[in-house]
Amino acid sequence: MKQTKIIMGMPITIEIVNKTSQAELNKIFNYFKSVDNRYSTYKTTSEIAKINHGLAKSKWSSEMKTVMKLCEQTKTLTNGYFDIAHSGQLDPSGLVKGWSINNASKMLISMGKTDFYIEAGGDIQVQGKDKSDKVWEVGIRNPFEIKEIIKVIKLKNQGVATSGTYIRGQHIYNPFSNLPINEVKSLTVIGPNVYEADRFATAAFAMGVQGIAFIEAAPGFEGYMVDNNKIATFTSGFRKYEA
């Protein structure tokens, strides 16, 4: 079963190879809706919007406190390049997307699903094998021509996330200079799961051209960067994932 719905302002696609009911699938989509209702900075009723309008920390939900703690941990791990504070407002979306996909994956596993993939806005978690009983294959888009796939990678029980400006426009800044990232067009990160891949991709992109070196030095991660000169740079272990 495969379905796509627009939630969190982006297409979310779930494909489950195992026998699945519509009710099970709806449970996952409803989870993403609940995430959107809590963390969307565009919804005045969301918890994050209320926090940005002065909601006392003592009134934050336990989940929000957990996510904020994860954001702080990620900031430390990435030498300050992952930063959710922008112009006096907090926006944890650079972590929440991958985190929620990973949580949805755990929900499916708890339902007994062994073979599936979940994609939200280009960030993907795969489990097991596809409907042809082969390892899942994921395409990396050409950021200069988004209908073109420039690399195909094979993943098993892993996550992949891409940060870039070619779809959403300029939305990632260097937190130290507060300047937009202009020298990198896209940076794709393969990680042990989509949560790890997503938060590291966000931080590495904010580092500019140095981001790929950060991924190279991170155990268990591989990366593929395309710069503004249309030159690709990838980590030493990336080729083992190429289809």
Q: Which among 162, 131, 147 has a CA at the least distance from the CA of 224? A: 162
pLDDT value for 226: 97
In angstroms, the CA 179 to CA 182 distance is: 9
Structure tokens that stand for 160 in this block: 């992949």
Using 50, 70 and 90 to split pLDDT, how confident is the model at 172? Answer: confident
pLDDT digits (tens, 9 = 90+) for 120-155: 999 999 999 999 999 999 999 999 999 999 999 999
Residue 167 has pLDDT above 70, yes or no: no
- Determine whether domain 2-241 maps to CATH 3.40.630.30: no
Contact 108, 127 (CB under 8 A): yes
At residue 105, the 3 state secondary structure works out as helix
Please state, for a pLDDT cut of 70, what percent of the chain lies above it: 98
Using 50, 70 and 90 to split pLDDT, how confident is the model at 200? Answer: very high
pLDDT value for 171: 64
pLDDT value for 169: 55
CA angle 127, 10, 224 (to 5 degrees): 60
Contact 92, 48 (CB under 8 A): yes
Using 50, 70 and 90 to split pLDDT, how confident is the model at 178? Answer: confident
pLDDT value for 173: 80
Structure tokens that stand for 173 in this block: 């800044």
Long-range own/partner contacts, residues 22-26 (CB < 8 A, 24 or more apart): 24/111, 25/1
Q: At what angle do helices 62-77 and 22-39 cross, to 10 degrees?
A: 70
Q: Which among 121, 133, 144, 168 has a CA at the least distance from the CA of 6? A: 121
Structure tokens that stand for 104 in this block: 């949805």
Rounded alpha-carbon distances, angstroms, from residue 114 to 102, 109, 144, 145, 233: 14, 6, 35, 34, 34
pTM of the model: 0.95
Using 50, 70 and 90 to split pLDDT, how confident is the model at 18? Answer: very high
Domain boundaries of the chain, sorted by first residue: 2-241
pLDDT value for 237: 98
In angstroms, the CA 166 to CA 206 distance is: 15
Q: What is the mean pLDDT of residues 167-191?
A: 83
